[in-house]
Every structure is written in C-alpha cells, then in structure tokens.
Structure 1
Amino acid sequence: MRALTLSSLLLALKTTGALAGKANTFEIVGHTGVSAQQLFLGNEKKIYVVDKVEKNPVEVNGHPAWAVEYDLETHTTRALDVITNSFCAGGNVLGNGSWLNVGGNNAVTTGGTCVWHDDPDFMDEAERWYPTLEAVEDGSNIIMGGELWGGFVNSVDQMQNTPTYEFFPTRGDPITMQFLLDTQPANVRFESKWEYGLLNYTSNEELRLPNITHAQRTYPSSGAVAMLPLTLANNYEPTILFCGGMDPVRDDWNQTAWAVVKTPTSNSCVSIAPMDGKKAKWIDEDDMPENRGMGSAVILPDDRIFVVNGSYATDPVTRPAYYNHTAPKGSQWDSDLPHSTVNSMYHSVATLIPDGSIFIAGSNPNADVITEENNSTYLYKTEYRSEIFYPSYYDQPRPEPTGMPASISYGGDHFDLELPASSIEGVDLAVDVKVKVIRTGFSTHAMNFGMKSIELATSYSATSSGATLHVSQLPPNPALFQPGPALLFVVISGVPSHGVFVMCGSGQIETQPLLAATVLPKSTTDLSASSSTSTNGTSGAKKLAAESGAARSVGGWWSAAVVAVVVMGLPLSRL
C-alpha cells in the first residue's frame, strides 16, 4: 500500500509539473549558429534567426550563413542560404502566413531558393536601412522610413533620409511622410528625438501628438515598447507603453564629441492612449527597477509584460522584470528574479513561444564576429547561446482544452472548446477563464514588430465532468488584430495552456470577409458540477466589446511612435 501511495504521489507531481522546478529561471538550451540580430516564431516548433553578413561559424553552400531555422524541440539548427544582406532589416508577417524581411545593406542580388526567396519583383521602391513594418487590415504590410545607409542617425547634409512609406504587396510609388521630413536628422526606426504622431495611411493625413516625456525611446536611445493587451475590460482601446531609453547629449550623435556608450540610460516608463487624438497625454507609470536601454518587451498570455535584455550604458542589465499594468501604482513591477548568465545587449532578441516561455538569443555590439580566439580584448563577444526564461506560471498545472481551431474569422458563429474537470476545479469560469490570441512579432533592435494580444469573449456550459467554453470569433474589424498566424491560449487563473497556431482571417492578402458578431449562449452550470462556477454572464460581461468592431470604421490611423507603428482602426471622428 505504501508503494502504491508513493507511486500515486509521484504521478500526481509529474502531472502537475511540480517536479519541473523551472518557474522564474533561465536555462541555456542551445546554440543559434548565427548571431540573432532578428528573430521570429515561424510555427509551433521552429524559430527563424536572421543576422547580417558576417563570419558566423555555421556555413551554407561554401560561405558563412546569416540565417538559420532553429528547432525548439531538439535545439538544433538548419542553415538557410539567404542571398541578400539583411543587416538591420525590418520584418513582419503577412496575412497569408509568409514572413517579410525588408531592407538592410546594399548588394542585393536574386536567386534565393526554397525557404528563403529573393524575388526582384518583391524589391522595395526605396532603399531602406532600419525600416519600420506593420501589418494592415488586409494582411499586407506598410513599410515606413529608414535611411540609405548605416549610421546612428540620418545626416541632413548627406541626404541619408528615406522619408516615405510604401506597401507590400505594392500599391504604387512611395508616399512622402511630412513627419519624417520634420524630424530630421531622424526618422522612423532612427532617433526621432521627442516627437510622436499618428498617420492615416489611407488619406496620408498626419496628426501630431504631444512629445514623449522624460527620455527618448527610439533608436539609438531605444526603450522597450509594447501595445498593452486589448481586452474586454478596456474595450479594446489601445495603450502604448515605453520603458527606458536615454536622453542624448547631442542631436547628431557625434561619437567624437561625447561618449555615447558611457551615457546612462533611463528607468522611466510612460504610456499613451493615442486614439484620444489631440487630447492624448503621456502618463507616468512606475519606473523600472533598473535603468535600461535596448530592453525587449514581450507580452505574456497572463497580460503581464516581460522585460529582458539591454544595458545601462556599457554595463549589461541581466535581471529581467515583470510589468503588470493592472496593478496599483507603486506595485507595477516585480523584479524578484534571478540574473541571466548571458550578457544580452545590442542586437539581442526575445519572443514568446508556444509553451508560454520566452526564447532569448543574440547580442553582438561589434562590427563583425568577435570571439575569445580572434580578439580576447573585446569586453562583449558575439553571443550564440540561446536561452529560455520560464515565467512564474510555468510549473503550474496547465489547462488542457480540446477542440482548438485551425483558423478564426472576423465575426461569425462562436466556436466551442472542451475543458476537463481537472482544468476547472475551484475556478470561477466567468472570471478566471480567458481566451487570448497573441501575435509574437518580428523581434529586432528592442522591439517586436506586430506583437499584439487580444482577448476573445467567452461563456460556458459547466457540468460535473468539465465545461464547454463558448468562444467568440475575432471582432469584425481586422484593423484591431490584423490577418495572419498567431498563437491561441486558454488562460485559467493566470496559467496558460500550450499555445497553438491559428490563422486569423482568410489566410490570404485581401479585403477580409466580415461577419456579424454573434451573441454567445448564456452561461449555465449543472447543479451536480463539482466546480465553483457562476451561473450567468459572459466572461468580461460586456457583449459590446465583442461587437464593437462592427460599429467601428477602419479609419487607418497608425501610431507613428517611431519604434512602434500600430494599426488603430478607429474612425477619424474619434480624434
């Protein structure tokens, strides 16, 4: 009997994940083979790592590789033969699930193969180093700003600026953007000083908003940035968070005139609700626990923001932190976490992966590959180690939903997920259960282009054997959450299920089919159910949030916050 009891106990511990003991820890899991200047999650099992042309140890077709496919299960890589030099390119995902890598250094040629395809018909109309990309409501991408060649900031005298935006697939010649002319010597993705604004890309109208406060947050000052999760509680109203950055000594970033790398970074955080238009104001949030530049902000399924990587002047910041925007002021940050043993500084990246952990890689503040063997005098070498950080929920028993869809639409009939009794024991289904759709984005240079989280409305039918979760489709407004692949999570009491890939929209780059938002079934509980559930209501209570997209026009307003360009999709009348 004792042996049986012990075996049962061990089985229970294994089932709940209590033996894992990984929560709030870092783990070095592999070697990326190429320095991770850019990175994106391509599917549930594969990450794609992109670098510039340099002497990486992995080779392909007789030359050093600068891109690999990284397997999250085996932590092995497959070299990709990229033909163009993707040095400081931008990227994002398209509505058909393809990923776009735009701009970079010169010497573009053709002849790409298979996984990585370079097509002369796909070339930008303008040369762009450090462009900004964001998806729009038909699944295409808007490409903004950049410069003709490298450097900290654009030079007026040398005419480096590319003050235009265009689209992929193309919609014609690039369109001049006055904001990018007025903020010389800066532009999108380069230092834009203190300025902030909105662009209606359908009419080329611009609306200037108040200047950002406390610190500059754009490259090369580079604060962490994220759109806070779009939820039923906030009625899908977007708020943008900026943390860290720097106040530069000179506008021209002349390194001979001041010590750029020795200038302290900031710990300040501010947010803005840009759709308030002319009434929009910068709000002071709690300061970060440490000063940090080049930090990466990653949205977690429980709605917290995880901030990692970066430096304080020349000193790496190795301790991450959680930001909780719903916590009272004075308690928004939690940094009671271990330090990483890897210095993830300039050219480091981070992204959420399906099990709810964060994949971290990169760091190369050098002109080429620097190792102990080729130059031991450099303080910070080229980094190839890949890490995973396991958030605080990682060891908890995970929800086990079944029936996860392969695609979701903009409006239309709800879909059902099944939850076993083990997933809902002691849970208030009306309050504690959330369904989240998260696009992890294209990570580079302290930002994840396209990263966004949205909550779907739910109701339930609970019995003693479990619960059926009735889940709304996306709101019928693709500007709120653009078409393309994303991760779908069921989150119970702050603990996420394993995320699965879903296609949002039609899977094509096109005007998306819109269907009316449907009213969810009323929540019910069988009297014999063992779980403590509510008997009425829709999760989040407000049907209006699920339907609000139908009443909102796709106004095309974008936040040209320089580091984060975000589709807002609200009518001009709101501004």
Structure 2
Amino acid sequence: MNWSLLSLLPLFTSVVFAAPSASEAAKWQFNLKNSTSGIVALESIVVSPTLVVFFDRASNDPLQINNHSAWGALWNLETDTVAPLDVLTNSFCASGALLSNGTMASVGGDPRGFVGNPAIQPGNQAIRIFEPCASPTGEGCTLFEDPATLHLLADRWYPSSIRIFDGSLLIVGGTHVNNNFYNVNPENSFEFFPPKESTVRPSAFLERSLPANLFPRIFALPDGKVFMVANNQSIIYDIETNTETILPDIPNNVRVTNPIDGSAILLPLSPPDFIPEVEHMLEGRTMPELVHVPNGQVLITNGGRSGFAAISQVPDPVGNSNADHPVFTPSLYTPDLPLGHRISNAGMPSTDIPRLYHSTVTLTPQGNFLIAGNNPNNDVNLTVPFSSELRVETLDPPFMQLNRPTILSMPKNIKFNSKVTVPIDVPFELTRPGAKLQVALMDLGFSSHAFHSSARLVFMDATISANKKSLTFVTPPNGRIFPPGPATIFLTIDNVTSPGAWVMMGSGNPPPTLE
C-alpha cells in the first residue's frame, strides 16, 4: 500500500414536476446560535466529542469568572452554551494542539502582562494544559498553568505548532515583542513539548523567511518529515537529523504568512498517489481558512477580498481593520474534479457576519462547522466597523437534514496497522449497490489566524458487510501517516456523513520527554 500526498420528462395533457427528493431538497445552511461565545473566539480547538476550547486575550470580554472578565471558554456543542475557563497568562495569538494522550497544550502568547484583578501574566513562554475531560458538559474541567515551572525554552508570540509522529508538539518560530507590522524581533528556532532537548534548535529557514514569518504554515508529512512555508520560502525539515531541505520559492512572488495571511492545508492522504496541481479561487481572499470536509472536499471560508492581517497598521484602516470587503459566501474545493472546475460556491449560503482578523472555524464531531470570532481591534469594541464579534454560527452541510449512517460503537483505543470491525446503522436509502464508501480518520486541528494547524484527513480502506450491519476498516500503518493521539472517524456513504466517533489512535500514552 502506497500512502502518499496529496469528487426525459414524461409528457401528458399537462406537465407535472415531481417533488424533489429529500437529498435534492437538502442544502448547506448557516445556523446562528442563540448563545454568544462570551469571549472573542480568536483560537479554537475541539477537545472532546462535545466540547470546544476558545481563547482570546484579556480584553474585557463580557463572560465572567471569579469576578473578572474571562479570556478562555468552553463551548458545548450539544447545548450551544458557553462556560468560562480561568486563564493565568496572556493567550493572545498563541498556538496549540492535542498530544498523544489527549492533553490539549496551548503554547506561547502575548509577552505583555498587566496588573489588576486579575494580574495577567505574560504569555510568551506559557504552556496551558487542558487534560482530557470526562464530563460531556465540561463541568469541573479546568485549565492548568504553572508559569514558574512549566514553560517554553524561548519567548514565542505568533508561533505555529503541530503534533508529530511520536505524539509530541513541534513548535516553530514566533516573535519576542509587539511588532508594528513585520517580525522585527524574531525567535528563529524550533522546540518541542514535552521537551526533547534542553535548548532550542536554530532555523536557517526562519532566518531566510524574514520579515514575514509569523505563524508559519507547517505540516507533518507521511514520512515523518515536516513541510514548512513562511513568506515565499519553503523547506522540508527532518526532525530526526535536524536538517532542512530547501525547496523552490513560491512562484509569482506570492507570500503566505502573517501579516499577508494566505492559508494552507494538507490535502487528504489516501493509498492512491495524488498529483497536485494549481487551481484558482473564485475571488481573492486574505485571511481565509481551509477546513477538511469528511468526504475529501475542502471548505474555504472567512477572510476579506482586500487588505492585510493585524490592526490599524495601514494608512487607511476601516475602523481599526487592515482588511476590508469580507467574503460572506464559502466555497468548496473538490480535489478530484478536472482542473478549472474544482472550486465552486454553487448552492452555498451567505452569512451577514464578517469574519476577518481573529476569527476561527473548526469541523465538529457532529459533522458541521463551528464559526466564531472577528476582532480587528485592540480590545472589545462594539461601535466601530468590523466590531468585536461574539455571535456564533454553524455552517451545516446538506446531510444534516437527511437520515445519516451511524457508527454505533467504537473501541476507545485503536492500534496502527490493524483491521477493525464496528457495528453501524445505514439508512435504507444509502444501501444501493455500488454506493460510494469513505471512512475518514481526522485530526480536527487548532484554528488561529487563518491556519488550521495539525488538521489532517486520512482515508482508510473500508468495506461494509452484505447485511449493512458492520463496517471494517484498516488503520494507517504507523504514526507518521497519522500522529498518535485523539482522532475522529467519519463514515460517508454517497456524500452523506455520519456523526463522528471519537477515538484514540495508538496507546494513549504521553509523548516521550527529555529525561
């Protein structure tokens, strides 16, 4: 198996039109939630089948905890309600991921601390820990921080991070200070959490990619190496030998990282070879986000048609926003369609909520997309154009309105390179011979600043039993194809996707650490 990179009218005395079938009538829909996020959700990560963690900075958000404004929150996907998390450090523009044991680690942040109630500690070396939460509602679940003993080796604001083949976190780049536009005081190095060494690894790639290398776009490849893009530079980094292979510059002088803020995504991994080609979007976008759809498509959403990331740093900001002309209609990218026909917004709804700087989106275990945030302002500001946004939406695919397949149960832990059989329920209308079957193993990623770090979709070879009662699939051969840790498995039949099953790929043990 080669796992490699990368969808006559009868005439009578009068004309009679048949009513559309349920599948034909089903459409993509935006769904505005009754509850707000309580804080500006500028970072989001799914941490359990029912919970999403949001982070903001300390900016007088309305959600309260311990008699002060919160800047961390838990969103309940079942009830569409929010609960505050008590955060000690300044989590503004941090990164994060889930580790091999299910722990969420949020790393880095704003170097500025503030006195007051509460005293806000600097976040540039912060490590924030959210342990696997047994409560579906999040009751009793808290964030752990101890800045004196648990911290990064270097100051990192605007870093990127991904889970790698041993289940640990690779942390890349960042800055030391508040920059006006470009990265003028960079941290051009890599480190790991848990740490593998007592010092950071200097990076020539990050040096070359100055001055625009904040939030570099990084991806764990199927051989365990890491593809990185910053500014117009790209490399493949070998973690095990600590070597960089320089790749050609991005053509046409295109630059992708903050503050220019193009997005990037790793296309689905599957046994057949995939040959990448260049496609053009329907409109220009700055600060878009790309999110996997369980059927192998990619959702393109959020962003604006003009401008830059960041706040009040161009000669003619709109309010405080460096960007303008928000794109209100999402598109879908379908990798296996003919070139020139892969991106479409046909049948896609439009929202009226701008999602520019400091907005997020994530696929949920329910199979829809949770969209929140937008705040190109220096604090909570509700009076300017592109004001601080607390409204939360989901973008619901058509299958949410249909009878869906269901994975009835799933082992808590699943081994690599194994054949797994689980019970399923398949609606009658999806039992036709030759129905298209897809089983997606997914990391739902960490959304921040137009990049979905660690996001991953691996298609597994699968069959359904003749009686349609069981599903058998073959897991990836090792943790280089899918880094060990939490995953969501979706069953899709003829583009109708099941609710996701939350599993632990691998042993569920903590990642290795420096002895």
Please, what TM-score do these two structures have when normalized by structure 1? 0.72
SS at match of 2:406: coil
Matches within 5 A, 1:157-556: 160-172=185-197, 173-189=199-215, 192-214=230-252, 215-234=254-273, 283-285=277-279, 287-313=280-306, 314-336=324-346, 337-372=348-383, 378-420=384-426, 422=428, 424-428=430-434, 432-463=436-467, 466-472=468-474, 474-510=475-511
The corresponding residue for 1:247 is none
Query: Alpha carbons of 1:112 and 1:208: their partners in 2 closer, same or farther (altered >3 Å)?
Result: closer
Query: Alpha carbons of 1:370 and 1:175: their partners in 2 closer, same or farther (altered >3 Å)?
Result: same
Query: Alpha carbons of 1:147 and 1:98: their partners in 2 closer, same or farther (altered >3 Å)?
Result: same
Query: What is the CA deviation profile of residues 397-428 of structure 1, one whole-angstrom value per residue up to 9, with x for unaligned ones?
Result: 21123233322111234333344472642142
The corresponding residue for 2:219 is none
The runs of at least 4 aligned residues of structure 1 exceeding 4 Å deviation read 16-19, 109-114
Query: What is the CA deviation profile of residues 13-41 of structure 1, one whole-angstrom value per residue up to 9, with x for unaligned ones?
Result: 9xx9779x763111111300000110011
SS at match of 1:227: coil
Q: Percent identity?
A: 30
Inter-partner Cα distance in structure 1 for 2:419 and 2:388: 51
Query: What is the CA deviation profile of residues 458-511 of structure 1, one whole-angstrom value per residue up to 9, with x for unaligned ones?
Result: 234303xx3432211x22220111111111111111111111211111111247
Inter-partner Cα distance in structure 2 for 1:181 and 1:487: 37
Q: Which consecutive unaligned segments of at least 5 residues does structure 1 have?
A: 1-12, 240-270, 272-282, 373-377, 512-575
Query: Alpha carbons of 1:392 and 1:216: their partners in 2 closer, same or farther (altered >3 Å)?
Result: farther
Give the helix-richer structure, 1 or 2.
Answer: 1
Inter-partner Cα distance in structure 2 for 1:112 and 1:501: 20
Inter-partner Cα distance in structure 2 for 1:329 and 1:392: 25
Q: Structure 1: which amino acid aligns with 2:288? A: G
Q: CA RMSD in A?
A: 2.3
SS at match of 2:492: strand
Establish whether residue 65 from structure 1 lines up as the match of residue 103 from structure 2: no
Q: What is the deviation of 1:117?
A: 0.7
Query: Alpha carbons of 1:64 and 1:480: their partners in 2 closer, same or farther (altered >3 Å)?
Result: same
Q: Structure 2: which amino acid aligns with 1:122? A: L
Inter-partner Cα distance in structure 1 for 2:457 and 2:342: 19
Inter-partner Cα distance in structure 1 for 2:259 and 2:361: 18
Q: Structure 1: which amino acid aligns with 2:330? A: P
Larger Rg: 1
SS at match of 1:394: helix
Q: Structure 1: which amino acid aligns with 2:495? A: G
The corresponding residue for 1:101 is 106
Q: Structure 2: which amino acid aligns with 1:470? A: T
Matches within 5 A, 1:147-166: 147-151=175-179, 152-155=181-184, 160-166=185-191
SS at match of 2:162: strand
Query: Alpha carbons of 1:343 and 1:510: their partners in 2 closer, same or farther (altered >3 Å)?
Result: closer
C-alpha contact 1:144 1:188 (8 A) present in aligned 2: no
Query: Alpha carbons of 1:427 and 1:346: their partners in 2 closer, same or farther (altered >3 Å)?
Result: farther
Query: Alpha carbons of 1:284 and 1:112: their partners in 2 closer, same or farther (altered >3 Å)?
Result: closer
Q: Structure 2: which amino acid aligns with 1:78? A: A
Inter-partner Cα distance in structure 2 for 1:185 and 1:22: 47
Query: What is the CA deviation profile of residues 313-369 of structure 1, one whole-angstrom value per residue up to 9, with x for unaligned ones?
Result: 211111100110100012111112221111111110000012211110000011111
Please, what TM-score do these two structures have when normalized by structure 2? 0.80
Q: What is the deviation of 1:72?
A: 1.4
SS at match of 2:207: helix
SS at match of 1:488: strand
Q: Which consecutive unaligned segments of at least 5 residues does structure 2 have?
A: 1-18, 114-120, 131-140, 217-228, 307-323
C-alpha contact 1:370 1:381 (8 A) present in aligned 2: yes
Inter-partner Cα distance in structure 2 for 1:423 and 1:174: 56
SS at match of 1:393: helix
Q: Structure 2: which amino acid aligns with 1:284? A: V
| 184-193 or 348-357, larger mean C-alpha shift | 184-193
The corresponding residue for 1:132 is 160
